[in-house]
C-alpha cells in the first residue's frame, strides 16, 4: 500500500491512481470525486491546514510529469532507432508489469510474446510508461562509471537494478541522456 500511495503522491496521474485504487479499494470514492479546481481557485491564505503545501506538491508533480515525459520521449526515440536495449530480469515472468498495464486497459494478445509486447507498448505509449514508472531502471556507463536512474531521472544505487522489473540500457547514447537528466535537474 505504501508503495502505491508514494507513487501516486510523486506522480498523481490516472495511471498511478488506478494502481492505488487496485491496491487500496477504499480510495475509490476519493479518486472519483477528486477535483483540484476548488483548491486552485481558493486563495492561499484561505486554504487552511488541510491544503498547506498544495502549491509545492503541484510544483513537484509538474516537475515529475515533465521528467517522465522527457525521459519517455528520449527512450521512445532511441528504442525506435534501435540504439538502446529494453530488457528484463531472466528469472522473472513480467506478470507484475502485465497486471499494471492491464489495470489501465492495455491487454496483451494471447499468442503474442509477452516480453516483446511490453517492450513495444512501454516504448511507444506514454501512459504505459507512466503506469510502470516505479518499476523502471535506466542503466548506462558514463565517464567510466556505471550509473542507474529511476523512471523519473533520479540517480539510484545499484540495488535499484535488482528490484526493478524493466531495464533500459542507454550506454550507446549516454551523453544525450545525461544532458536530459541535467536539464530535468536544473528545472526542478
Interacting residues of 16 by C-beta distance below 8 A, sequence separation 6+: 4, 7, 8, 10, 130, 131, 133
pTM, to two decimals: 0.77
Rounded Cα distance between 129 and 143, Å, is 28
| Three-class secondary structure of residue 21 per DSSP | helix
Amino acid 81: pLDDT: 92
Amino acid 56: pLDDT: 66
> Would you say the C-alpha torsion 159, 164, 170, 174 has a positive or negative sign?
negative
Report pLDDT digits (tens) over 9-38.
777 777 777 777 788 888 776 666 555 554
Delimit the domains of the chain by residue range: 2-187
Rounded Cα distance between 17 and 111, Å, is 30
Averaged over 41-69, what is the pLDDT?
66
Q: How confident is the model at residue 43 (pLDDT cuts 50, 70, 90)?
A: low
From first CA to last CA, the distance across the chain in angstroms is 27
- Looking at per-residue pLDDT, the higher value among 115 and 62 belongs to 115
Q: Is the pLDDT of residue 8 over 70?
A: yes
Amino acid at each position: 500500500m505504501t508503495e502505491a500511495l508514494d507513487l501516486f503522491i510523486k506522480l498523481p496521474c490516472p495511471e498511478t491512481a488506478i494502481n492505488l485504487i487496485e491496491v487500496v479499494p477504499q480510495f475509490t470514492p476519493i479518486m472519483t470525486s477528486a477535483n483540484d479546481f476548488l483548491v486552485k481557485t481558493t486563495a492561499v491564505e484561505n486554504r487552511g491546514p488541510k491544503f498547506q503545501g498544495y502549491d509545492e506538491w503541484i510544483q513537484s508533480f509538474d516537475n515529475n510529469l515533465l521528467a517522465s515525459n522527457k525521459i519517455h520521449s528520449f527512450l521512445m526515440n532511441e528504442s525506435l532507432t534501435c540504439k538502446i536495449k529494453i530488457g528484463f530480469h531472466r528469472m522473472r515472468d513480467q506478470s507484475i508489469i502485465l497486471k499494471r498495464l492491464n489495470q489501465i486497459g492495455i491487454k496483451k494478445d494471447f499468442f503474442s510474446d509477452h516480453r516483446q509486447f511490453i517492450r513495444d507498448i512501454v516504448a511507444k505509449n506514454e501512459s504505459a510508461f507512466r503506469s510502470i514508472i516505479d518499476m523502471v531502471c535506466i542503466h548506462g556507463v558514463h565517464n567510466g562509471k556505471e550509473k542507474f536512474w529511476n523512471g523519473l531521472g533520479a540517480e539510484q544505487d545499484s540495488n535499484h537494478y535488482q528490484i526493478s522489473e524493466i531495464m533500459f540500457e542507454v550506454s550507446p547514447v549516454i551523453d544525450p541522456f545525461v544532458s536530459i537528466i541535467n536539464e530535468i535537474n536544473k528545472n526542478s
